[in-house]
Amino acid sequence: MNAFLIDAFEYSRHKEQRQGDIAVADLVRLTEELADKSGSLHWSLLGEVDSLGFSQLRLSVSGLVRLMCQRCLVPFAFEIASDSRLILAKDEANADEIDALLADDTVDVIVGSKVLNVAELIEDEALLAIPLAPKHKACPDRAAPERLQGAQKPSPFAVLKNIKQ
């Protein structure tokens, strides 16, 4: 995975914005959860300072990945569409303070750093977006072709019918 490192606090203070695409195959932890490594994810990262003066990052990740249905074991396409607001804290204690102050479940508080790996942040966001037990909304009926094939097979009792005569 190519590292894309930023100073998270400076990035936010300067209100920088970047976007791009990253190959799913480059995200090792994510590919372990997928049916295959094809595709890419589009991402956008915006640095901001909120009304309370906290540095924050707005991360958007989108794209199609292939998951294995846990019900029928057939791969299916799943669309990742995630938007997150990440408040940056100086350390764990500061993160707990900010989290208690905000008391907002729609915001995540993370420990920022001068060497924040954006690719890992994108991968974390994608992992959080996929379901724990992925399933089709309606699994394809795999028994239907088998029933049709079974209807075409001669009955094993057809031989007995000839013996009776």
| Per-residue pLDDT at 51 exceeds 70 | yes
48 within some domain: yes
151 within some domain: no
19 within some domain: yes
- Average model confidence (pLDDT) for the chain? 87
pLDDT (tens digit per residue) in 67-88:
999 988 899 999 999 999 999 9
62 within some domain: yes
| Per-residue pLDDT at 165 exceeds 70 | no
10 within some domain: yes
Instruction: Tell me what pLDDT residue 106 has.
Output: 83
144 within some domain: no
44 within some domain: yes
Range of the domain at 133: 5-139
How far, in Å, CA of 3 to CA of 1, rounded? 6
Count of structural domains within the chain:
1
159 within some domain: no
Which strands, in side-by-side order, build the sheet including 75-89? 17-23, 40-49, 55-68, 75-89, 107-111
**Amino acid found at 153:** K
Instruction: Tell me what pLDDT residue 151 has.
Output: 54
